[in-house]
Amino acid sequence: MLRWLAILVALALPASAEEVVLGMSQDKVAITANFDGSEILIFGAVKREEAIPEGDPLQVIVAIQGPSEPITVRRKEKRFGIWVNTQSVDVDAAPSFYAVATSAPFDEVLSSTEDLRYKISIPSAIRSVGAPMTVQDSQSFTDAVIRVRKANSLFQLNEGSVEFSQDTLFKTSIAMPANLTEGAYRTRIYLTRSGVVVSEYETEIDVRKVGLERWLYTLSRQQPLIYGLLSLAIAIFSGWAASAIFTGLRRG
């Protein structure tokens, strides 16, 4: 069951008359043995010191980013009937999970200049310093990371999924899959007008393994030899038990 937690924050941004007041359904996600994903409800309002400005409507962006990690992307080609690795590019940092939800199409909500500044779009969240000179289309390797992680629901762009009423109240939900990486998930909320960020708020969602999952994870990191022996013992016992059951069924 989701634990409701309201977080009311007044941002000290004297240059802006519109600020974020935020709440979340939960700020912790526990990964257990039967964990099959979670859904985070994010809701809030716009705090104003004066009347709603006329002109372009206010928009909302919500971005949740998991821990980043380096990744090596390899290209396979068929040579003499066998698929082999031919080229590789090292991506310096790619989020293990990244979801962006907006109140309108992304291009309408944020300008390219502001995206460069705040790094909100999925491609801008991936850092790749450079590729070997022998690789001419290095961007295709970054595109491959995005394509694969989108297919696994680890990268999400949910345009128009933020419900925003009367330029004041907003809410959205982010689906987090079962294959999450442990760590602090950076959560950012932006208010934009005419593609320019007018207010921002940042918090974290803590994702951790608990129970048996936590014990096994800690054991594998701190005592790898014991973890390996335990895994081997479990495999031997499972094989023996399966063989004993099969033999008993045949005799019966």
pLDDT tier, 162 (very low <50, low <70, confident <90, very high otherwise) = very high
140 CB burial (10 A radius; 0-12, 13-18, 19+): middle
CATH 2.40.240.10 applies to domain 5-209: no
- pLDDT of the residue at 196: 94
- pLDDT of the residue at 65: 94
Q: Out of 90-104, 146-160, 223-237, pick the least confident.
A: 223-237
- pLDDT of the residue at 6: 35
pTM, rounded to two decimals:
0.72
- pLDDT of the residue at 112: 94
- pLDDT of the residue at 139: 75
70 versus 224: the higher-pLDDT residue is: 70
